[in-house]
Chains A and B, each alone.
Chain A
Amino acid sequence: MDLTLTPQMAAFRDEVRGFLEASRNTYENGQPRNARDWQAKLIEAGYAARTIPRQYGGFGAEPDVLKARIIAEEFIRANAPRGMAGQGISMLVPTLLEVGSEEQKRRWIAPTLRGEIIWCQGYSEPGAGSDLASLSTKAVEDGADFVISGSKIWTSTAHLAQMMFCLVRTEPRAAKHEGISYVLIPMDTPGIEVRPLKTMTGQAEFNEVFFTDVRVPQANVVGGRGRGWFVANTTLRHERGMLGDPNATEARLGQLIELMKTESVGGERIIDNPIFRDRLMQLQARVYSMKFNGLRLLTSAVTGESTGLAGLVVKLQGCELNHQIAALAIDALGELGILYHDGPHLRAKGNWQRSYMFDLGLIIGGGTAQIQKNIISERGLGLPREPSPAKV
């Protein structure tokens, strides 16, 4: 255990601080004045697309988890906006780098990094949620093309996206996991219909996407026909790590403490109520546990050790913790916590209320809590899989 920074890392931290100080007037309240200009500036300085090779439009640095963490911490400290982080940048780009053809890398990565192409992810279907590999959207070969029919759900940015990376069944006779291909689909192709999916938050954070005889060149398959399941699994892991990010949770706990110090009911500050204070302390212990667990994982990433259980539990515990923080904030607000949309008494624009509802979706999405427990018990503890039901 040594939590001090080496002189080299301290110098890097100062460099990041210097950059943020010098660019102070290009962002405000955590938002850039111009998103694309900011993104270009970040890539040039190496604070976005840091490890993407230069020939594909990135900064081209060697992966270094410590530097990545320093960048993350300094941006939080300065309340500076991070680079763009849509599903294209965080999921498609790493996939293409790993398994894409040279032509695909050259064509798609740079404009995606610059924010010129927005992507959406077409994985889940109405009939294929936790059992994603049973998906049935089909792609039938027709000359040099595939003709796609079916539907996708929980497609968050489909209404904005120019492109979708999508899992479709191309080999109907192959085994479940071996008949899937990962294909890139332009969203303006005839036959695609996007319908907003309004959730309990009152907003349409998701969409449904319907495909009727949508024609896509076979050249748009990434990683080879029938290999889609394995291609997608590489990037699902990135998503699960992202969903339990302890830095974001710690920042949120800080906001909750601030709320409890400033809100009063009947003349008493919430923080002065011992029951609320006790609940806060219970959550704080959990936040610290996840924070230090994150540092432990970071160290394992540097040394190349396997992370085992410490890594497998992050999505389950992190998403649950976020939800509990929002729940305590709502209880601290009391009746104010049921206000919504607008009005003079509404606090923080209703963000706590929205989080409380939306975060329940994050407990379910990206592999439900129950699927996570299967993964933890099977891969982490070596317990057997549930046997398939006997054929009747």
Chain B
Amino acid sequence: MRFALSEDQKMLADSVANALADLSPLERVRRFADAGEDTAPDLWAGLAELGVPGILIPEEHGGLGLGLLEAALAAEALGAAVAPTPFLGSAVLAPLALTLAGSDAQKAKWLPKLAAGEISAGAAIAEAVAGGRDGAGVEARAGKLSGKALFVLDGMTADLLVVADAKGGLHLVETPPAAQRMDSIDATRRLAEVAFKDTLAQPLASNQALERLRDAAWVILAAETLGAAQTMLDKAVAYAKERRQFGRVIGSFQAVKHLCAEMAAEIEPARALVWYAAYAFDHAPEEATVMAAHAKAHLSEIGRFVARTATEVHGGIGMTDLLGLHYWFKRIGQNRQLLGGPEKVREYAARAQGLVSA
């Protein structure tokens, strides 16, 4: 029994983090946000050199063929750098949908291009997982989709869309309709609204595929929040060691030290929860939904605590655009609501262990 990352896993996490230090420094993130970019091809191409887009794609289709734990480690690094990438749609949800439910022809057509980072994919599953807002929802009839999907992940520049219909069936849309941007607090992850009208779609036949996609997305969002929260704590601690008031560094005041200790005390055990949820997705399927839901909901809760507390440790400067701490604050805030807020997700956790009466 060994509950720890392997040397290969540590190396993968380090190499993604190191690459992002060059590819996605704060100036790059700021340019993406301020210039209203929808895609950062430089980042995705840089990560493709490490194989990140194909992390979950089987080797026979040009990917690395790794598991969700490796994907979660990459997501953690992406969250730590608030990197604007289509990782969730292109590297996690579309590859999983295709491997779980795609035909051989669909796999052969799309997986190698996704693995190489040549194309990107989005996922319209918000309504099917978390319920529809403002009348959103997609109906499937005779190979065609109609209706609108909101909060489409990585949908602005998607060459390919995975869409869940109102009954939980999955579809592949190879020529997605034009997407409208949904401006959100987090300008480093673009969300889209997509209207379907008799849009041609190929069904992805599998009973459990949507559940698997949902569980994977929850783990990835949790891992991203973990990385973002860790960065916020690191920045708060560094600032507390350097900022002086009343003739001493503020990190020597217990009022400030204890805030930092509380953040660390929340983050560190949550790291083990994220690791286990990712491990369970591949190795303990009977626990996968409970653990993924707990990881998503719990990281949302402690992420919110860390986001506000780390900002508070910085004092007034923490609020400024100049410092840029707000990019992490907003990523954490956005991840909390995507694919179900904590209350919704915890209900899934309870249901998955038989605690909800029929």
Q: Chain A: residues with CB nearer than 8 A to chain B?
A: 1-6, 9, 66, 257, 261, 269, 271-272, 274, 277-278, 280-282, 284-286, 288-290, 292-293, 295-296, 298-300, 302-303, 305, 309-310, 313, 316-317, 370, 372-374, 376-378, 380-387
Contact = CB atoms under 8 A, between A and B. Distances in A.
Given A288-B291, A293-B268, A386-B254, 13 more contacts: A9-B1, A285-B294, A285-B295, A285-B298, A285-B346, A286-B298, A292-B269, A305-B4, A309-B264, A313-B269, A373-B257, A384-B252, A385-B252
14 contacts: A1-B5, A1-B69, A3-B3, A4-B1, A6-B1, A281-B347, A295-B3, A309-B264, A317-B265, A373-B254, A377-B261, A381-B257, A383-B260, A384-B249
B257 A292 contact: no
A384 B261 contact: no
B355 A288 contact: no
A295 B356 contact: no
B297 interface: yes
Given A277-B350, A383-B237, A383-B240, A2 B1 contact: yes
B350 A289 contact: no
A269 B240 CA distance: 49
Which 4 pairs from chain A and chain B are nearest by CB?
A292-B272, A295-B3, A285-B298, A373-B261
Contacts of A309: 264, 268
Given A274-B347, A298-B3, A374 B356 contact: no
A285 B270 CA distance: 9
B283 interface: yes
Contact of A290 (B4, B240, B254, B269): B269
Contacts of A282: 297-298, 301, 346
B2 A2 contact: yes
A281 B69 CA distance: 23
Chain B interface size range: 35 or more
Given A2-B2, A386-B252, A381 B260 contact: yes
B3 A383 contact: no
A377 B263 CA distance: 10
B265 A1 contact: no
B189 to A, nearest CB: 24
Contacts of A284: 294, 349
Interface stretch (B11-19, B91-99, B134-142, B273-281): B273-281
B60 interface: no
B31 interface: no
Contacts of A280: 350, 355
Contact of B264 (A6, A299, A313): A313
B253 interface: yes
Contacts of B240: 383
Nearest to B241: A383
A370 B254 contact: yes
A288 B279 CA distance: 14
Nearest to A278: B346
Contacts of A295: 1, 3, 272
A370 B268 CA distance: 18
Contact of A1 (B253, B261, B275, B356): B275
B297 A281 contact: yes
Interface string B232-272: 00000100110000001101111001101110110011111
A376 B269 contact: no
Given A285-B294, A288-B291, A373-B258, A277 B355 contact: yes
A373 B262 contact: yes
Contacts of A370: 254, 258
A235 to B, nearest CB: 23
A313 B356 contact: no
Contacts of B254: 370, 373-374, 386
Point out which of B1, B270, B273, B291 has the most chain A C-beta atoms below 10 A from its C-beta: B1
Interface in B300-347: 301, 343, 346-347
Contacts of B273: 285, 288-289, 292
A290 B270 CA distance: 8
Contact of B6 (A1, A66, A261, A313): A1
Given A292-B269, A310-B268, A383-B240, A1 B252 contact: no
A383 B257 contact: yes
A380 B4 contact: no
A289 to B, nearest CB: 4
Q: Considering residues B4, B240, B254, B275, which has the most beta carbons from chain A within 10 angstroms of its beta carbon?
A: B4
Contacts of A293: 268-269, 271-272
Contact of B272 (A296, A378, A381, A383): A296
A1 to B, nearest CB: 5
A317 B273 CA distance: 14
B170 to A, nearest CB: 27
B224 to A, nearest CB: 17
A328 to B, nearest CB: 14
A376 B269 CA distance: 13
Contacts of B237: 381-383
Contact of A257 (B2, B4, B272, B355): B355
B4 A296 contact: yes
B261 A292 contact: no
Contact of A3 (B1, B343, B350): B1
Nearest to A5: B1
Contacts of A384: 241, 249, 251-252
Of listed A277, A292, A298, residue having the most chain B CB within 10 A: A292
Given A280-B350, A296-B272, A316 B298 contact: no
Given A3-B3, A66-B1, A277-B350, A383 B251 contact: yes
A1 B264 contact: no
Given A284-B294, A293-B269, A381 B1 contact: no
A310 B284 CA distance: 24
